[in-house]
Structures are given as C-alpha cells and as structure tokens.
Amino acid sequence: MERKNIAFFEHGQFSKVKEYRFDPDRMLKDYVKEFLIVEASDLVSLETLPSTSVSLNYIISGSIEMKQKGDATIKLPKAFAFGVARTSLHFDFSEGTTLFAIIFNPGMAPSLISCPINDFFEKFIAYSNFLNPNQLSQIEQIFAEQGKYADLIKRIEKFLFDEILFTQKKDNIKEAVNEIIHSQGSTSIKKIVDVLAVSRDSFEKKFRKQVGTSPKKFSNIVRFRNLFENGHKYATLTEMGLNAGYYDQSHFIKDFKVITGKNPSKFL
C-alpha cells in the first residue's frame, strides 16, 4: 500500500486487503482526488485516518459495520457519502467485501452535492438524502453492470461529467485549502484571511459550507495526516510532533490521543 494518500491507520491486517487507486480524467482532476477500490478477502477490522475529503461510497459486495463507543455497531448503507472527519473511525469489513469510493478534492464536493458540506462532518449519509431519483437510478445501473474496474471507472467518470457543475471562477476557498495543505497545516488562519483580504467571519462560514469543517479543524487534520502520508521515521515523540508541524510535545500528545484514542509512543 502506498504511503501517499494513505487511508488506514492499522497495517497489521493488510494481507487480507487489496487497494486499487485510479487517477481521474484530466478534466476531473480539479474536482476528484482519486477513485479508490478496497477488497477484503476475509473478515477484517480497519481504522481510518482523519480525512480532509468528502467521499461518495458504494459497497459493491459484502457489508461494512462501523464500531461505536461501547462496542455497538452500525451497518452502513450500500450507497453513502462520508464527510470530513477529525477522528479515527473503526470498521469491520465482512468476508468478500468490495468498496468503491469517489474521493473529492477538499472543497470540491459542492460541484455535485448542493447541500452544505458541513452537514456531512463525521457523518455517513445515504445517497437518497442528497441525490435526485434520476442520479440514484444512474448509479445503480453503473454498478449493476459487470466488468473490469477500468470500465467501471469510465462509467463513473461519464456520470460525473454529466452531473458536476463545472466552474472556472476564482475561488478563495480553494486558494485557502491549497495554502493549508502546502504548509502542512502550519499556516495561521489570520495570515490566510489577510492575504485574501476578506472578512474572517464570512470566510470561515463559507469554508465550513464548502469544505465541511472549520479552517482550524481542517488545518489540524492536515497536520496530523502529515505524520503518515510522508512516511516519516521518528526517534522521539518530540521529533514526531515537530516534523508534523506541532509546536510542542504536550499539544501533539494530547491531539494524538483525541484523534486516535492511542498514545503516540505506540507508533514509535
């Protein structure tokens, strides 16, 4: 499994899991980060990293349950969206499960989803709650057809070409997202607002609606994911935190525990 764009925190059961990643057509690259297919050959439990992106998911075969506190579980619907997430989440994949995901670039889900994206924050929402009947019918038909994954991607891309609201206008939120990602979550929101010359209140409201969470939380997720996406190796907790963009060890340890429920020393 590639370290870049890593989805899962736990690696011990990867012998039971296969991932297939596909880059979108160049005309979709501004909107779609990638297409991801996950196959679980056996019963497997996985823990996700916090996510900066909204995804549209479809369970092609098998089933997936999400673990909650107290060991309760929720069975996920066959077709669902999942929003930006600040915490790690635990999932059980049944034997023979295949999951397909369209992963949007941060801030670009509104090109297909008309409702506020912050409504999706750390939530699983069935397609029927935000797609129209015609769109639902098209998606069902796409996945009903058998064939190679490459053919499935082509059908999905055609659907997106037909449904996405393409726009070339200047977008301050896209600029802000790019700056946060480029700085690995270390740039200040005040600096971004000053550069864009916009009101902080209106900026943050628009950011939450378009990206799915506040600029501060988004920066926090980007900073945390930097621990895993760039394949760092650490000797100490201090080094781990500093390389990820944290200013002190205590803040880093507190954040790590809140996000994963684990002490970072277990990762060393």
Which amino acid, one-letter code, is at 59?
I
Confidence of residue 166 (pLDDT cuts 50, 70, 90): confident
> What is the three-state SS of 49-114?
CCECCCEEEEEEECCEEEECHHHCEEECCCEEEECCECCCCEEEECCCEEEEEEEECCCCHHHCCC
Confidence of residue 5 (pLDDT cuts 50, 70, 90): very low
pTM of the model: 0.88
Q: In whole angstroms, what is the distance from residue 241 CA to residue 256 CA?
A: 10
Q: In whole angstroms, what is the distance from residue 183 CA to residue 19 CA?
A: 28
pLDDT at 240: 76
What sections of the chain are H helices per DSSP?
133-144, 149-163, 172-182, 189-196, 200-211, 215-229, 237-243, 249-260
Tokens of 134: 């015609």
Model confidence at 13: pLDDT above 60:
no
pLDDT tens digits for range 85-142 = 998 888 999 999 999 999 999 999 999 998 999 999 999 999 999 999 999 999 999 9
Question: In this structure, what DSSP letter does residue 26 have?
Answer: G
- Inter-CA distances, 11 with 97, 111, 126, 160, 238, Å: 18, 34, 28, 32, 23
What is the chain's alpha carbon radius of gyration, rounded to the nearest angstrom? 19
Q: In sequence order, what are the residues at sequence separation of 6 or more whose Cβ sits closer than 8 angstroms to the Cβ of residue 108?
A: 30, 31, 32, 174
Instruction: Tell me the angle at which helices 189-196 and 200-211 cross, rounded to the nearest 10 degrees.
Output: 110
Confidence of residue 165 (pLDDT cuts 50, 70, 90): confident
Dmax (CA) of the chain? 54
Average pLDDT, the chain: 87
Tokens of 118: 């912050």
Q: What is the mean pLDDT of residues 47-70?
A: 90
The string over 102-118, giving b where at least 16 C-beta atoms fall within 10 Å of a residue's C-beta and e elsewhere, is: bbbbbbbbbbbbeeebb
pLDDT tens digits for range 67-87 = 876 678 899 999 999 999 998
Question: In this structure, what DSSP letter does residue 236 have?
Answer: S
pLDDT tens digits for range 220-261 = 999 888 877 765 666 677 777 777 777 778 888 888 888 888
Q: In whole angstroms, what is the distance from residue 244 CA to residue 228 CA?
A: 9
pLDDT at 120: 95
Model confidence at 6: pLDDT above 60:
no
